[in-house]
Amino acid sequence: MKMKTFLQRYTTHFVVIVAVLGMYWTTRLPVLGKMELRGLTGQFQFTPSALPELDHLERKSVRDVHPDLAHVSAWISAMGAAVALHDLDGDGLDNDLCYVDPRVDRVIVGPVPEQADRFAPFTLDPPASLHYDPKTMAPTGCVPGDYNEDGRIDVLVYYWGRPPVVFLNRGGDGLGPDRFAARDVAPGDQRWNTAALTTADVDGDGHVDLIVGNYFPDGARPLDADGENRETMQDSMSHACNGGRNRVLLWAGATSGDAPTLRYVDAGDVFDADVAQGWTLAIGAADLDGDLLPELYFSNDFGPDRLLHNRSEPGAVKFALLAGRKTITVPNSKVLGRDSFKGMGVDFGDMNGDGLLDIYVSNIAAEWALHESHFMWVSTGRPELMAEGVAPYVDQSEPMGLSRSGWGWESRLADFDNDGVLEAVQATGFVRGHTDRWPELHELALANDALVKAPASWFELRPGDDLSGHDPNCFFVKSANGRYHDIADELGLGGPMLTRGIATADVDGDGDLDMAMANQWASSVFYRNDAVQAGAFLGLRLLLPVAGTSAETTVVQAGLDPHAAGRPAIGATAAVCLPDGRTLVGQVDGGNGFAGVRSPRLHFGLGAVGATRMLEIELRWRDDRGGTHRQALQLRPGWHTVLLASAPSDTTADQGIEE
């Protein structure tokens, strides 16, 4: 009798173990055959080049940090690399780099490597008048944009240790540091520790605002090696809400000229406390319900991500917190707004062809270590549910093959071979060394929250220690069965790099997207796209009139006109109807993600569409008075510069463009 009971009990245990292992192994990414692999990789080819560097600057490999944090200096030093691609010199091409190199703790502006003769690289440094202290502050990202609406591209830089600074572009011949005038966006004596920043017209008044995501608490001095204050870490590994306050700064006016000005107003407490003080690492802003007001996605470390429905009016910012619907078959961590993962990236793209944007989010998904999951929040097709407080998204990362990789950072969606299907690129890796510290991190993760926030309770993580330091970056491509496969190694992109940011742009105007990757404590890299079998493309450079001017009609011209007077129409949307019945959608990006900023120009892969085929395109946008517009165009493949009308509002028109 006892033997029978023993066998029944342990047979049940054995069956459960086998079932769990079976589920694990059957859900792992299937191995591709050589022919299938060759079919996925054949249309992609990239040529790498190191980003320009300033050799006269002294390099370091770890930051000086507050004494309370000295034993975790490698952890505190694991962020800071960032990169953006834009047109700073006004030549019509997004061939200018702005990037942060933590080895020198400086913001560097330079040409893409293969156009190095255009101008000499230089740094953007805040002047002494802005009370910048390089011993206790460091740049963590840069977001190019036209902040004073004069038609020139400026550079906003954000920091650990102080509020952001905008370097306003005064124009003139050549491109160098004297061309830029530094201006505060908030009182410079405040202590912010910003990890992410994006721009969008939050309140619908027609002007671009700032959404600032802060990490360490306001007032914290993590980079002050002589600091006497007491420092603190997150107050939980799964629902921390003691981070720096996230802010919306509303545009309040600007001027241009030799002494340009710029003013923002803090919108105040527009977020609930647990939203405002999450440890935010990435921010996404996109119109998800079709009203031309951007919803916000906060990708948070140590706690739930937050999706906010925008219910603002000009001058009055208001958001409602959204959450996904829980079902009996879905765990909490796979329900939007209920996860406890370590969010570190966010991007938008239509992954299932329903004409609605989906949301791609990086977390930590390291096998045999901390195996959370990345997210692919796919729209359910019910955006109207946002009015009821529901996030109409379900996670499809596992069936799509995008749930697993490693310690993820930037997540980026783009069509690199112009076939009309988005690829997914992901930055990975944390701290590289020789001593594995995963066991100690596991211990910390199981500790009481009251201990976690005390730096003294943390294990040592110094130079030489390792946490996912050899993860390869990922380049996911969709196969015929609808599942994505990582082919980074086959393309020469997967070598271990501690990558943080990914920026994309067509830097040479040839119709395919190039990219740059910002690496921590190593040279950053530009990848020229040399795809030999790329399909046709449609590129849209959508502009709004500069301050003080207006356009009664929408004007379209072929190509990338360097003399076109306008500012990027951040938040404008485009829908492109393909001959096969599919509709491609995109929105002008104001800096979404973690540490990489793509070009604001819209790029659509068209596949086998002929060069003379006219395409139906619908544009929607807000003008500088907040008026909404809708216009239909007919355009052939190629690049087009479009100056959007600013009056009257609520217009609908058709325009055929014969070139």
The closest of 298, 305, 322, 190 to 248, measured between CA atoms, is 298
Contact between 342 and 363 (Cβ < 8 Å): yes
Whether the ω angle into residue 648 lies within 30 degrees of 0, i.e. cis, is yes
DSSP letter assigned to residue 595: S
- Integer angstrom CA distances of residue 652 from 81, 250, 614: 44, 29, 20
pLDDT tens, residue by residue, 367-395: 888 889 999 999 999 999 999 999 999 99
Mean pLDDT of 54-58: 90
E strand or H helix that includes residue 442: helix 438-445
Distance CA 462, CA 435 (A): 10
Reply yes or no on whether the pLDDT at 26 is more than 50.
no
Contact between 357 and 317 (Cβ < 8 Å): no
Q: What is the CA radius of gyration of the chain?
A: 24
Distance CA 85, CA 83 (A): 7
Distance CA 421, CA 401 (A): 15
For residue 648, what pLDDT band results from cuts at 50, 70 and 90? low
Amino acid symbol at 184: D
Count CA within 13 A, CB hemisphere, residue 123. Answer: 16
Contact between 353 and 580 (Cβ < 8 Å): no
Q: Tell me what pLDDT residue 329 has.
A: 87
E strand or H helix that includes residue 451: helix 449-452
30 vs 537 pLDDT, higher one: 537
Distance CA 193, CA 216 (A): 6
Q: 401 — alpha (psi -120 to 50), left (phi > 0) or beta?
A: left
For residue 32, what pLDDT band results from cuts at 50, 70 and 90? low
> What global pTM score does this model have?
0.94
548 vs 124 pLDDT, higher one: 124
Q: Tell me what pLDDT residue 495 has.
A: 80
Q: What are the helix (H) ranges across 47-169?
A: 73-76
Q: 114 — alpha (psi -120 to 50), left (phi > 0) or beta?
A: alpha
Beta strands in 185-287 (DSSP E): 194-200, 209-214, 247-255, 261-266, 279-286
For residue 446, what pLDDT band results from cuts at 50, 70 and 90? confident
The closest of 497, 453, 456 to 475, measured between CA atoms, is 497
For residue 445, what pLDDT band results from cuts at 50, 70 and 90? confident
613 vs 494 pLDDT, higher one: 613
For residue 20, what pLDDT band results from cuts at 50, 70 and 90? very low
CA angle 241, 243, 244 (to 5 degrees): 135
For residue 610, the tally of other CB atoms under 10 A from its CB is: 11
- Integer angstrom CA distances of residue 291 from 29, 283, 324: 38, 20, 21
Reply yes or no on whether the pLDDT at 405 is more than 60.
yes
Distance CA 292, CA 258 (A): 34
Contact between 99 and 51 (Cβ < 8 Å): yes
The closest of 196, 313, 297 to 250, measured between CA atoms, is 313
Residues written for the chain: 659
End-to-end CA distance of the chain: 89
E strand or H helix that includes residue 4: helix 2-27
pLDDT tens, residue by residue, 624-642: 999 999 999 999 999 999 9
Mean pLDDT of 492-498: 88
Reply yes or no on whether the pLDDT at 30 is more than 60.
no
